[in-house]
Chain A
Amino acid sequence: MRRNILVLSAIVVALALMLAAGVMNFAQRRRAQQASVQAMKMELVPDNGQPGTSTDAAPGSDPDTGMDIPANDMTTPLNGRHAPNFTLEDLHGQKVSLASFKGHPLVVDFWATWCGPCKIEIPWFEKLHDQYSSQGLEIIGVSADDLDKGDPAKLFTDKRDISDFSTKMGMNYPVLIDGQSVEDQWGGLDALPTTFFIDRNGKIVASTVGLAPRNQIEADIKKAIGSGAS
């Protein structure tokens, strides 16, 4: 009799634990979903030539360009850390190491040809590169486009598409490819554009995920130039 009670109790406890696990999982997922919705509480605007609503635009209206940039709370875990080194190929097949830029304030911008907001940001980087190059600023664009490494013909096309895109965009700074191969060490790169601002000592002093207002990008560049200066 006692044995039966013991076994029954054990079964009841096990079932209760499983039920609790289910409830916990459900609650956890629900919280995450709510956070996700909260993080991107933006509504699509109809294409009527009226960009953004005042509430959407206000947090990120760009005084320089007049463009409306909705608020974006996403961030990377690398702020304040040393920039992870990488060696990637440029569009001419030359290996380029991040370490070779040490001593320069640096912007590392992860982008892709399929990324609309990246296309908005790239011309800003071109101008800012010209504007701050006298203070040592270097900018690197790292393409996160898929590369079909198993098929030489497709790989050639993939590289050519990136090259054509960067030419069309007039990118006046080094463009590296195969950014996906370093995404883990750079915080996952779950969303593009993702941009890191690095000081002369290789420390990440700021980062942005998603399109940031131009004045914020310029402020982060100034931070990278100012920080670590001797």
Chain B
Amino acid sequence: MKFVTVLVACLFLLAGAAAALQKLPWQSSDTPGGGAGQQLVHFLYPQQVTVQAGVPQTVEMHFRIANGLHINSHTPRQKSLIRTELIVAEPTGVKIATVDFPDGTDFAFPADPSQKLSIYSGEFVLKMHVSAQRGDHLIQGALRYQACDMTTCFPPRNAPVAVDVIAH
């Protein structure tokens, strides 16, 4: 009996030590300058909205871009630039009519003031026009973006987005 108790205690200790060493899945490495998986844009809110069933509603989705960075707007001025897009799957019982993107702000790299870009920086809001049938629906998707700072650009990434729509 005593042996079993000691064994259990050892297992607890091992589990604790493992927890101390382990990096949890959502704790990605925050490499300065942008590691491969590091998000530079985050979906802020809402996580949940309550709407009237069958009635078109607007859900305002708030995002924040990391300090010192910018991303192209939904309508960049050059064909080669990657525009910001919202990619969402319509769950059964939800109809997403359109998504309104804000206008971009004019910006130019200090090293090339003649090239005007259309960008978002800081916080921005997308307006998603939805209608939902009665029930609880989870809209999941991602914001596709490509970020730069004043001298450097980071590869395109997808920031996860999830909104729980409760329709009464």
Chain A residues within 8 Å of B, Cβ to Cβ: 3, 6-7, 9-11, 13-18, 20-21, 24-25, 29, 32-33, 35-45, 47, 49, 51-52, 56-57, 62, 65, 67-70, 72, 74, 112-120, 144, 146, 161, 165, 188, 190-193, 209-212
The answer to whether A114 touches B108, judged by C-beta atoms less than 8 angstroms apart, is no
Which of A42, A43, A52, A191 is packed against the most chain B CB atoms within 10 Å? A191
Bound-complex Cα distance A3 to B9 (A): 10
- Shortest distance from the beta carbon of A62 to any chain B beta carbon, whole Å: 8
Cross-chain contact A210 with B152 (CB below 8 angstroms): yes
Q: How far is the CA of A33 from the CA of B69 in the complex (A)?
A: 14
**Cα–Cα, bound, A144→B111 (Å):** 22
Most A Cβ at <10 Å: residue of B9, B24, B116: B9
**Given A69-B110, A190-B36, A44 contacting B121 (CB threshold 8 A):** yes
Give the total of B residues in contact with A, Cβ under 8 Å. Answer: 58
Given contacts A117-B109, A117-B111, contact A191 B2 (CB under 8 A): no
> Is A7 touching B153 in the complex (CB atoms < 8 A)?
no
Closest 8 CB pairs of A and B: A17-B16, A10-B9, A32-B30, A210-B152, A52-B110, A210-B151, A21-B20, A14-B16
Asked whether B8 lies within 8 Å of A7 as measured between CB atoms, the reply is yes
With an 8 A cutoff between CB atoms, is B99 at the interface?
no
Collect the chain A residues with CB atoms within 8 Å of residue B35's CB: 188, 190
Would you call B25 an interface residue if the criterion is a C-beta within 8 Å of the partner chain's C-beta atoms? Answer: no
The stretch of B55-63, B85-93, B142-150, B158-166 that contacts the partner chain: B142-150
- CA A7 – CA B13 in complex, angstroms? 11
List of A residues within 8 angstroms of B6 by Cβ: 6
Interface residues as binary, B130-147 with A (CB distance below 8 Å gives 1, 0 otherwise): 000000000000000010
Main secondary structure of the interface of B (DSSP, over half): loop
Residues of A within 8 A of B150 (CB): 40, 42, 44, 52, 56, 70
The reply to whether B109 and A209 contact each other, CB–CB distance below 8 Å, is: no
Point out the residue from B20, B68, B121 that lies within 8 Å of A41, measured CB to CB. B68
Using Cβ atoms and an 8 Å threshold, which residues of chain B touch A17? 13, 16-17, 19-20
Q: List chain A residues, Cβ under 8 A from B149.
A: 40, 42, 210
Chain A residues within an 8 Å CB radius of B67: 37, 40
Q: What 0/1 pattern do residues 1 to 29 of B give for CB contact below 8 A with A?
A: 11001101110110111011111100101
B153's contact among A9, A72, A115, by CB below 8 Å, is which?
A115
Given A14-B15, A25-B23, A32-B32, A44:B152 Cβ within 8 A: no
Q: A20–B20 contact, CB under 8 A?
A: yes
Interface contact B153-A118, CB-CB below 8 Å:
yes
Of the candidates B2, B12, B27, B33, the one whose C-beta lies within 8 Å of that of A74 is B33
> Which residues in A have their C-beta under 8 angstroms from that of B153?
112, 114-118, 191-193
In whole angstroms, how far apart are the Cα atoms of A62 and B17 in the complex? Answer: 52
A72 to B152, CA, bound (A): 9
Is B81 close to A, CB under 8 A?
yes
Contact code string B106-139 (vs A, CB < 8 Å = 1, else 0): 1111111101110001000000000000000000
Q: Which residues of A contact B115 (CB under 8 A)?
A: 116, 119
> Which residues from B are CB-within-8-Å of A57?
110
